[in-house]
Amino acid sequence: MESIYQALVEIVGEDYASNRHEELFTYSKDLGTSPPQWPEYVAAPKTVEEVQKIVYLANKEKVAIVPLGGGLTLAGLALPLKGGIIIDMKRLDKIIEVNEAARYMVVEAGASHGKVTAYLHKHHPTLMHSEPGAPAAATIGGNMAIHGQGDLAHPYGFNTDMINGLEVILPTGEIARFGSCAVGSGWYTMHPLPDLGLFLGWNGSTGIITKISFRLYPYKKIRDNDAFTVSDENLVPEILHELTHLGLTEDLIATSSEIPPVMNRLHHISIMIAGDYEEEMEFKRHMIFDLTLGKYIRSGVGGIGGIAAERLRPQISKSADWKKGGGFEYVGSIVPVAAYPECYRRGSEISARHDIPYTVLGRVIGCCHAMMFSWSYAFNRADAETVRHAREALHETDVMVMELNGTIWKPAVFGQKLMMDRMDQTTLQLMKKVKDLLDPNGIMNPGNWEVQ
C-alpha cells in the first residue's frame, strides 16, 4: 500500500498526494445524506499526463479510481464506493482557448464555472456560457459528466448539448479525442463525426474527461429577472408553453416552497430576459406581460411578482437553512413540463410525511421539450433521525419519478438501480458491454451505473 502512495507522490508531488486520515476524511463525504465512503489515497494532478500516469498505476495495481470535480452533486456520485484513489481534478483548470468569432471555449475539465464566468466577464464581456445553479466551485468536467443544465437551458438545452469537443483518458489510460479536435481541425464542432457518446452521464465510470470545448453565447448588457406568480399549479405548464412559443426569454424557472411563507403554495415563475438596449427590454416586457400574460393578470389568476430584479441563480441550497444543521439533498429529474402540477403535489406530500418543508423547482429545458424538476429535502447533519427522513424522502421521490414516467437526473446508486430495473434489456446489456470493453479491470468509479 505504501508503494501506491509513493508512486502517487512521484507522479503529482508530495504536496498533492495523501493517504493521511485527516485528509481522506474530507474526501470520504459529500454534502448530501450518503454515509461516508473512505478512499485510501487522494491525488490532485496538475496535468493530463499526470492523470494518465495515475490511471496506468491504478490498472497495474487493480485499484479503483474516482474522478472528483467540485464534489457538489450531493448524491454521492464521487464517493469512493469501493475505496481506492480519488483523483481531485480541481488543479487541472487551465483555460486553453476562447474563440470569440466562433463562440466557443476550451478548458481543462477541472476549471470551475466560477472561473469561466469571471474569465469571460474580464476578457470577453460579450460572451457567456451556461452556468448551472450549483455553487461557482462546480467544475465544467463534473457538470458535463452528469448531464448538467444551466441558465441557458431554455434556449439551448442541456450543457452537454453545447459540447464542441472532448478529450478523455480512457479507463485503460489511452487519451482519446472526440469532435473536430479528433481530426486536428480545432475545437469548433462535435458533429458530424460518428457518434460514440460514451462519457456523458456516466458519472466518470467510463473515463476521465480532461478537456472540453463548449459553446459560448451572446452576453447582453441588460439582464433582468422578472417574475410572474400564480396560485394554481395547473397554470404553470400552459404559461411556460406560451412563453416558450413567444421565444423572448433566456431562462424560465418555476419554484414553490413552504418556507419562507411568501412562497408557500404559490408558484413563482422567474422570467429572465436580456437585451442590449432599454427599448429591447421594454419590447420584451410588453410582449411577455401585456400581451402574453395579460389575460391571466386581468382575470386575477396571475400577477407580476417583480420586474427588473437582480438575477440570482436558483438557490435551492437555501432550503438547507430551514432546519438546524444546514444539510440538504435533492432528487433531480427530467420530466415533461406538463408533469409540473403532479410533481409539485406529490413532492409536497412526501415532504409532509417526513416533516420537511417542501421545496420544488422546475427549469425549462429547450422549447418546453422537458423540465428539470427537483425536490429538495433539508436535514440536520447532527441529527441522524432527520438524515434518515431525508434519505427516505429521496428514495420515495426516486420511485415517484419512475411512476410519473420521468427520468432521474444524476441518480444516486439507489436511483440508478431503479432505472436499470426498468431499462430495456438490450440497452442495459449494451451499457455493460461498453463498460466491460472500456474498463476491463473495473476500476473506474465502480458502483456507479454498474450493470449486474
Partner 1 sequence: MYKLTFNEDLCLACGTQDCLVRCQHMDIDQKTARIEMEKIINGEDSFVLHDCATCYACEEYCPHGNHPFYLIVQRQDELGMPPLPEPLIKRGIQTGIPFRGEPEIDEIKGTALNMCVFSNLMDRVQGRLFEGLPIISHDSRKMFHYFCQLMYLHYGKTSVINERLDKIIQTLAAHKAKEIIHFHDECYGTYTSYAPAFGIEVPFKSIHLFEYLYNRLLELKNEIKPLNYKVAYQRPCSSRLSPPMHQYVAKIFDLIGVENVKREYVDENAMCCGGTILGQKKEGSRQYCAEVQKKNIDDMKNAGAEICVFNCPACITTLGKPVQKEGIWPLFMSDLCRLAIGEKIG
> Out of 187, 289, 330, 358, which residue is the one contacting partner 1 (CB under 8 A)?
289
Exposure string (b/e) for 21-57, b if CB count within 10 Å is 16 or more? eeebeebbbbbbbbeebebbbbbbbbebebbbbbbbb
Alpha helices in 306-358 (DSSP H): 340-353
Rule CB under 8 A: which of 305-334 touch partner 1?
Answer: 305, 307-308
By CB under 8 A, is residue 302 in contact with partner 1? yes
Q: Which stretch binds partner 1 (CB under 8 A): 43-51, 151-159, 289-297, 431-439?
A: 289-297
By CB under 8 A, is residue 234 in contact with partner 1? no
Q: Which helix (H) or strand (E) holds 174?
A: none
The grid coordinates of residue 86 equal 480519488
C-alpha pair distances (Å), 214 with each of 158, 211, 243, 308, 447: 12, 10, 27, 29, 29
> Out of 60, 123, 245, 265, which residue is the one contacting partner 1 (CB under 8 A)?
265
User: What is the rounded distance in angstroms from the CA atom of residue 17 to the CA atom of residue 135?
Assistant: 26
Q: Which helix (H) or strand (E) holds 181?
A: none
User: What is the rounded distance in angstroms from the CA atom of residue 140 to the CA atom of residue 131?
Assistant: 9
By CB under 8 A, is residue 286 in contact with partner 1? yes
By CB under 8 A, is residue 136 in contact with partner 1? no
Length of the chain: 452
> Out of 100, 282, 349, 355, which residue is the one contacting partner 1 (CB under 8 A)?
282
Question: Based on CB atoms, which residue is closest to partner 1, 282 or 349?
Answer: 282
Question: Based on CB atoms, which residue is closest to partner 1, 139 or 255?
Answer: 255
Question: Based on CB atoms, which residue is closest to partner 1, 137 or 227?
Answer: 227
Q: How far is the CB of 229 from partner 1 (least distance, A)?
A: 4
Q: Total binding residues for partner 1 by CB under 8 A?
A: 28
Q: Which stretch binds partner 1 (CB under 8 A): 80-88, 290-298, 370-378, 383-391?
A: 290-298
Strand order in the sheet with 95-99: 95-99, 104-108, 208-215, 163-169, 175-179
Q: How far is the CB of 226 from partner 1 (least distance, A)?
A: 10
Other CB atoms within a 10 A radius of the CB of residue 403 amount to 10
By CB under 8 A, is residue 418 in contact with partner 1? no
By CB under 8 A, is residue 259 in contact with partner 1? yes
By CB under 8 A, is residue 176 in contact with partner 1? no
Residues within the interface to partner 1 (CB under 8 A): 229-231, 259-266, 282, 285-286, 289-290, 294, 296-298, 300-305, 307-308
